[in-house]
């Protein structure tokens, strides 16, 4: 066989191979499921076929973060399921749930979320698994990142099963146990004498709070007198709860909440001030200084006629 015939044979075989490949991708789509696929080239069809073989993909910008980072999570789904959200669940090195979020899927089939590693549940160094689920449990994908470096004193002050509550110049640790949800953040207010939890739920659940009396208490007369009942609100509505244990140091409440709840507020008659004694002294000194200057210079805030 001469070289010319050999070249012709190779060209025929290459053309036949190309024709065999094209129907493979074309058969993945029908006109109703993918109306634009007819205008795609072979490489675009190959990419779409790969997406359909992988119903959901999730990824992060980096693989390693520290304890004061924002993790940008992004991904895509192959097929939209109406208004169904993507559920993002993060588990820590001890297989503990760190956070749960639900994010919307855009019209271009993409989704994204931001995760902050500064919380107390992120304080362990190690590998964290970010799992994205769309619809049924089997439709999921995961990305693994490593959290490393020094932990801030504030985050390390309390254990993983304790809330970090800031009051005055101190950090208080409030033991808790929660099912059906994750506590995203909390705050204390002396103005409303309340402790507020912001949560993300994945089912009906309950939370047990062992509240130290020097953080929040309910008495008949402010900080004194016999114990009074707390008031518990879930999303602004009175909720069912039970005081399951009472000691001279703390009071333990068991609170139930429905799926979809976002806020739990425990109201007493006294709460630790948000500002400590140093701030109070500075304020007092400032007031005395203003009064002294006003008296000396005959400064008046009232108009004279």
Residue range 246-298, pLDDT digits in tens: 999 999 999 999 999 999 999 999 998 865 444 444 455 556 556 555 555 55
Counting DSSP H helices and E strands in the chain, the numbers are 4, 20
Q: Rounded distance, CA 30 to CA 212, Å?
A: 63
Q: Rounded distance, CA 100 to CA 283, Å?
A: 41
Task: Give the CA count within 13 Å in the CB-facing half-sphere of 130.
Answer: 28
Any bridge partners for residue 188, and if so which?
Answer: 195
Torsional sign, CA 51, 133, 59, 112: positive
Q: Strand 194-212 vs strand 170-189: parallel, antiparallel, or unpaired?
A: antiparallel
Q: What is the DSSP string of 170-210?
A: EEEEEEEEEEEEEEEEEEEETTTTEEEEEEEEEEEEEEEEE
Short-list 191, 192, 160, CA closest to 173: 160
Q: Rounded distance, CA 229 to CA 208, Å?
A: 16
Predicted confidence (pLDDT) at residue 218 exceeds the cutoff of 90: yes
Q: Are 159 and 147 in contact (CB under 8 A)?
A: no
pLDDT at 287: 63
Total residue length of the chain? 305
What's the predicted TM-score (pTM) here?
0.52
Axis-axis angle for helices 42-53, 3-26 (nearest 10): 40
Predicted confidence (pLDDT) at residue 226 exceeds the cutoff of 60: yes
Whose structure tokens read 């004194």?
224
- State which of 161-170, 192-201, 272-281 shows the largest mean pLDDT: 192-201
- State which of 8-22, 219-233, 282-296 shows the largest mean pLDDT: 219-233
Q: Rounded distance, CA 303 to CA 292, Å?
A: 19
Q: Rounded distance, CA 37 to CA 223, Å?
A: 71
Short-list 207, 210, 213, 151, CA closest to 180: 207
pLDDT at 138: 80
Q: Rounded distance, CA 1 to CA 183, Å?
A: 77
Residue range 95-136, pLDDT digits in tens: 888 888 899 999 999 999 999 888 778 888 999 999 999 988
Q: Are 164 and 120 in contact (CB under 8 A)?
A: yes
Q: Quickly count: other Cβ atoms within 10 Å of residue 239's Cβ.
A: 18
């Amino acid at each position: 066989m001469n070289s010319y015939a050999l070249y012709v044979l190779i060209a025929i075989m290459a053309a036949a191979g190309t024709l065999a490949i094209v129907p493979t991708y074309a058969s993945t789509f029908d006109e109703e499921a993918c109306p634009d696929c007819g205008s795609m080239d072979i490489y675009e069809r190959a990419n779409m076929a790969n997406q359909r073989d992988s119903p959901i993909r999730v990824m992060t910008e980096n693989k390693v973060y520290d304890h004061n980072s924002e993790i940008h999570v992004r991904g895509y789904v192959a097929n939209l399921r109406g208004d169904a959200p993507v559920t993002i669940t993060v588990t820590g090195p001890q297989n503990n749930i760190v956070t749960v979020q639900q994010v919307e899927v855009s019209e271009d089939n993409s989704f994204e979320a931001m995760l902050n590693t500064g919380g107390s549940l992120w304080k362990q160094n190690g590998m964290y698994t970010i799992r994205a689920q769309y619809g049924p449990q089997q439709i999921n994908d995961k990305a693994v990142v490593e959290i490393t470096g020094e932990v801030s004193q504030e985050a390390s002050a309390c254990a993983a099963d304790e809330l970090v509550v800031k009051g005055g110049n101190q950090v208080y640790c409030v033991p808790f146990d929660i099912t059906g949800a994750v506590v995203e953040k909390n705050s204390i207010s002396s103005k409303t004498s309340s402790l507020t939890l912001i949560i993300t739920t994945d089912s009906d659940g309950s939370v047990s709070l062992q509240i130290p009396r020097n953080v929040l208490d309910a008495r008949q007369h402010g900080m004194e007198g016999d114990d009074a009942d707390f008031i518990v609100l879930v999303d602004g509505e009175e909720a069912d709860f039970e005081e399951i244990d009472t000691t001279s140091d703390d009071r333990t409440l068991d609170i139930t909440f429905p799926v979809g709840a976002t806020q739990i507020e425990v109201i007493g008659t006294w709460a630790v001030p948000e500002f400590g004694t140093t701030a109070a002294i500075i304020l007092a000194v400032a007031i005395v200084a203003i009064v002294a200057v006003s008296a000396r210079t005959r400064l008046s805030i009232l108009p004279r006629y």
